[in-house]
Amino acid sequence: MSWSSAQQYCRENYTDLAMIENQEENMEALNAKPNSSMVWIGLYRKPWTWSDGTLSSFRNWLPSGLNNNNGNQHCGIEFSTHGWADELCSYKRVFICHQVSRMKTTLKLKFITDSDLTDPKVKAQILQQLSALLTKDRWTDFSLQWTIQPQKPSE
């Protein structure tokens, strides 16, 4: 597929095109691709960012990999030698998708407050503050839900 078609396929069926952010992920990508194939990975020149828009300092460019031939090579490929290069996005290539493991974490919090925790405005404010804290700690792609457990009768 072309780079954009591969991106669309990966987003519909997995998470996105492969994002390689360290040597361990680089080895996983190497093991995932056919030996003799050049494959699309999630790099795109805007400047070079991953398909989801994130930046990464990890790079594995071939010495002659960034030539941007005629100013038209905006998509990243990985060669059979495991090095990266830029390529015309319209070329048809095999590709590697990235799938993030989904993790569910449940937190039980006890609030001691005079506020009405069933009030939608109070709930929204607390969720907004929790979201801001998670974002500050570089969490991405998360969702928060709120459930109030019924109080147990006093014994």
Give the range of the structural domain holding residue 155, as residue numbers without chain letter: 107-155
Binning pLDDT at 50, 70 and 90, where does residue 154 land?
low
C-alpha triplet 49, 54, 57: angle, nearest 5°? 70
Is residue 111 domain-shared with residue 130, that is, in the same domain? yes
Total domains, the chain: 2
- Note the pTM of the prediction, 2 decimals: 0.62
Among 50, 73, 98, which residue terminates a domain? 98
Question: Are residues 62 and 126 located together in one domain of the fold?
Answer: no
The whole-number pLDDT of residue 146 equals 78
Do 52 and 19 contact (CB within 8 A), yes or no? yes
Question: Per-residue pLDDT tens for 19-78?
Answer: 888 888 877 877 777 776 789 999 998 788 998 888 878 888 888 778 787 788 999 998
- The beta-strand segments (E) located in the chain are 16-17, 39-45, 48-50, 73-78, 84-88, 94-95, 97-98
Instruction: Judge if 83 and 120 occupy the same domain.
Output: no
Query: Residue 148 in 3-state DSSP?
Result: coil
Q: Do 54 and 119 lie in a common domain? A: no
End residue of a domain, out of 72, 98, 124:
98
Helix (H) or strand (E) holding 25: helix 23-32
Residues 29 and 48 in one domain: yes
What's the pLDDT score for residue 89? 94
Do 21 and 59 fall within a single domain? yes
Do 80 and 132 lie in a common domain? no
Is residue 126 predicted with pLDDT exceeding 80?
yes
Same domain? For 21 and 43 the reply is yes
**Whether 60 and 7 share a structural domain:** yes
81 and 151 co-located in one domain:
no
Model confidence pLDDT, tens digit, residues 97-119: 987 655 667 777 788 888 888 88
